[in-house]
Amino acid sequence: MENNSHAHALFGPEELRVQLNWMVRSKICRGIAKGLAFLHEESKLKIIHRDIKTTNILLDKDFVAKISDFRIAKLHEGHQTHIITKIAGTT
């Protein structure tokens, strides 16, 4: 991706960090929320990502957020009625 990861934009080497104004930050947050809403509600396969963090959010040239790294994602089965409370993400 042209602008690397959200983590790189926020916490990368100072000379390579991207200056994100509040409008761009808000756009990134809305993009992440829309992506998660799509995965959870709108896609045919209901996907629970389980590892959302800045390193797993890629930013294109227009700072549109793209969710990546689905290694520990789970498919949600609609008939399940219980909640798993085990921590699953990575650091």
List pLDDT tens digits, range 45-91.
889 999 999 999 999 999 999 999 998 988 877 655 555 656 666 66
Residue 18: what pLDDT? Answer: 86
Residue 57: what pLDDT? Answer: 96
For the stretch 7-52, pLDDT in tens is 999 998 888 788 899 999 999 999 999 999 999 988 888 899 999 9
Instruction: Retrieve residue 34's tokens.
Output: 């829309």
pTM (2 d.p.): 0.79
- Write down all domains in the chain, each with its CATH number in brackets: 6-75 (1.10.510.10)
Catalytic residue status for 62: no
Would the CA dihedral through 43, 49, 53, 58 be positive or negative? negative
What is the C-alpha separation between 48 and 25, in angstroms, rounded? 24
Place of tokens 């520990």: 72
| 5 has a pLDDT exceeding 80 | yes
Residue 88: what pLDDT? Answer: 64
Q: Locate all alpha helices (DSSP H) within 1-91, ordered by sequence.
A: 6-11, 22-37
Cα–Cα distances (Å) from 91 to 27, 50, 54, 56, 68, in that order, read: 24, 12, 10, 11, 15
Q: Determine the number of helices (DSSP H) and then strands (DSSP E) in the chain.
A: 2, 4
Residue 79: what pLDDT? Answer: 58
